[in-house]
Structure 1
Amino acid sequence: MSENEAKETMQDFEAELEASFRKINEGDILTGTVISVDEDAITLDLKYYAPGIIKADEVSNDPSFVIDEHIHPGDVLEATVIRRDDGEGNILLSMKEANEVLAWDKLKELLENETIVTVKVSEAVKAGVVAYLYGIRGFIPASQITTAYVEDTESYVGKELEVRVITVDEEDDRLVLSGKSVALEKEAEERNHKIAMLVPGSIVEGTVESLMPYGAFINLGDGLTGLVHISQICERRINKPSEVLKEGQHVKAKLLNTNDGKISLSMRALEEEMVDTSVEEKEDLSAYTSDESASTSLGALLKGLKL
């Protein structure tokens, strides 16, 4: 062993020795590494002469929290000292008490950073559902569960939701979460991906969804809707789309562009293409037609024959 390695080993030993003799008081928040875990308690290595014990009822306020599913050996936990000796030489700790001190700061950080987190709905209550985050009871209003108002909140019990923190009030012990903004963002991402796959100039089909003074919205299916501006509905000038179209009508249109994530369509361009195609077909047909009139008379058949 080199001289430097020997010094490092001594320094490590001295640090651990010093830590083992440090003063621990009730109310202190300690950090420890999980040594073992079962359904009744968690044992922590506190780098102290005595291990730390967290009883099952001091782990979390979340009724759905299962110790041996959520906590594993090697995990680093923070807990408050509630008794320096439990009668068996262990330091008795509480994660719940530590949470009451630390969780609100973590929640404020999530609010500030607009961080997306996953929570599990534990119960349905009046006008919403409840989910726990960092051991703190959070409320998700029915209007904030997803993109639409949820009538049957019971159906969400046991489900996991991606949410953001929207209200943190430590003084009133109030935490409000929202899944709506996350769901809206995901829908927008999916829609933008589908739009990016569309090819300008292609022919699309859909159903007239609604008529507005400035044009018609066409439901193209797969969650996509395009707009046919009133000037692009037909060749002739019209005062309003309802002169030509009605809701529920099946139509075809040409895809003009997808600028700014908006789908612009033209029925007029498709109509013009069909007229041009028809003219071309007539011209092609005339190229193969003789100027002389066609005849199937006996005189025509015998003409030119010498008897």
Structure 2
Amino acid sequence: MVETNNDLQVGSIVTGTVIKIDEKQVFVDIGYKTEGIIPISELSNLHVENPGDVVRDGEELTLQVKKIDDDEVVLSKKMVDAEKAWKDLQHKFDQNEVFETEVKEVVKGGLVVDIGLRGFIPASLVETYFVEDFSDYKNKTLAVKIVDLDQEQNRVILSHRAVMEEEQEKKKQDLLQSLQKGQVVEGTVQRITTFGAFVDIGGVDGLVHISELAHTHVEKVSDVLTEGDNIKVEILSVDLDNERISLSYKNTLPGPWSGIEGRIKEGDQVEGIVKRIVSFGAFIEIETGVEGLVHISQIANRHIGTPEEVLKVGDKVSAKVLSVSEQDERISLSMKEIELEKEKGEIEQYEKEEDFSSFQLGDMIGDKLDKYKK
């Protein structure tokens, strides 16, 4: 309650108007026989360099009488502000309220803020990440909440980090709820392990298993991705209970069969490595991730009982493309055709070099000549 200014006592609450601002004090008309004085140290609970930064001429203030002498009345603005601030802070603390405050000082160990009195944000409670230099935080407004309040100890500890963590958690839950299997999203590679890569897709990390990095076998994750890479990934699954997200990188990349009909055409001669041998033929890798089948009937220009009679895994072979289908991811190959064409070429070359009659040539090579002269 504001008392009348005619009966002043130490502790009385009075109103006054600023009439003069000096370097170290402020003079206030409080309707008393002498002007009231607010020392610079009683203007604010924070450090003040210039009284003019806190009050202005003609401003009406609510003040508390701190000392009375015959010719001097010492007043305090910060005591009134503090009492009001404590009540307000207690309410905010009880309600776990988030509010904004301005950073007034950067000190060793954290930040000093203006909350009607001196509040402190320890360095560990400023951000969710490590901050090397806090100099840019001066005069910055931060959203905070109170984590420790003790009026007897004159202690108010605030946290900006707690506010940010709550916002991140809400964003994370919203994102988890919105993700759908098959959805393609953008993300940043955060961490690489032996079994895959963790990718931040907007506030939550998902795992790209090493088997989902490429259409081909991957020995090391670092052969495909680097920390900091911005990539597109496909959502494979979302486990809301355990907050786990499985991602695929390879599903966003063109497959090895994509555009195959433009690169390989019927009649082309290709080279490849024997990757697998089965009872009905052999699979030849002619591009990374692309295998064609040489049916057992197309392996040799003679009858064979099993592919192993001619081929073994790892052999490098040439073959002729019989057919290509991107849709079915199927290529039919013939080694026999290459062999026949080679024989035909040898015969034609022989005919050019030697002027034999057809009878003489027939005696030498049997019925092979007839086969190529149809």
TM more than 0.5: yes
Counterpart Cα distance in 2 of 1:141 and 1:93: 32
Opposite residue 57 of structure 1, the aligned amino acid is S
Structure 2 partner of 1:293 = none
* Rg larger in structure: 2
**Pairwise CA distance, 1:51:** 7.4
| 2:103 counterpart (120, 126, 134) | 120
> Contact 1:86–1:92 at 8 Å: present in 2 too?
no
Structure 1 partner of 2:224 = 249
Can you list the C-alpha shifts for 1:189-246, whole angstroms capped at 9, x where unaligned?
Answer: 89899999x9975575764732376x531367x988543357755679x9xxxx6541
Counterpart Cα distance in 1 of 2:139 and 2:98: 20
Structure 1 partner of 2:198 = 217
Counterpart Cα distance in 1 of 2:88 and 2:33: 30
Aligned pairs for 1:83-102 (under 5 A) are 83=67, 87=71, 92-102=74-84
Counterpart Cα distance in 1 of 2:68 and 2:38: 12
Can you list the C-alpha shifts for 1:79-108, whole angstroms capped at 9, x where unaligned?
Answer: 2123568738xx642113334543322322
For the structure 1 residues 95 and 223, does the alpha-carbon distance in structure 2 shift closer, same or farther, using more than 3 Å as the test? same
> Contact 1:35–1:45 at 8 Å: present in 2 too?
no
RMSD: 5.1
Runs of at least 5 residues in structure 2 that lack an aligned partner in the other structure: 263-323, 328-374
Question: Comparing both structures, which one devotes a greater share of its residues to helix?
Answer: 1
> Contact 2:13–2:62 at 8 Å: present in 1 too?
yes
Question: SS of the residue aligned with 1:139?
Answer: strand
Give percent identity, aligned residues only: 24
> Contact 1:256–1:265 at 8 Å: present in 2 too?
yes
> Contact 2:98–2:163 at 8 Å: present in 1 too?
no
| 1:43 counterpart (9, 28, 48) | 28
> Contact 2:127–2:160 at 8 Å: present in 1 too?
yes
- TM-score after normalising by structure 2: 0.48
Aligned pairs for 1:259-278 (under 5 A) are 265-270=247-252, 274=255, 277-278=258-259
Runs of at least 5 residues in structure 1 that lack an aligned partner in the other structure: 1-18, 286-307
Counterpart Cα distance in 2 of 1:74 and 1:135: 21
Higher relative contact order (CA 8 A, sep 6+): 1
Question: SS of the residue aligned with 2:10?
Answer: coil
For the structure 1 residues 216 and 233, does the alpha-carbon distance in structure 2 shift closer, same or farther, using more than 3 Å as the test? same
**Pairwise CA distance, 1:59:** 0.8
Can you list the C-alpha shifts for 1:35-88, whole angstroms capped at 9, x where unaligned?
Answer: 556343153678x99976534332124214643223346766432123568738
Counterpart Cα distance in 2 of 1:161 and 1:180: 14
Please tell me whether residue 111 in structure 1 is matched to residue 90 in structure 2: no
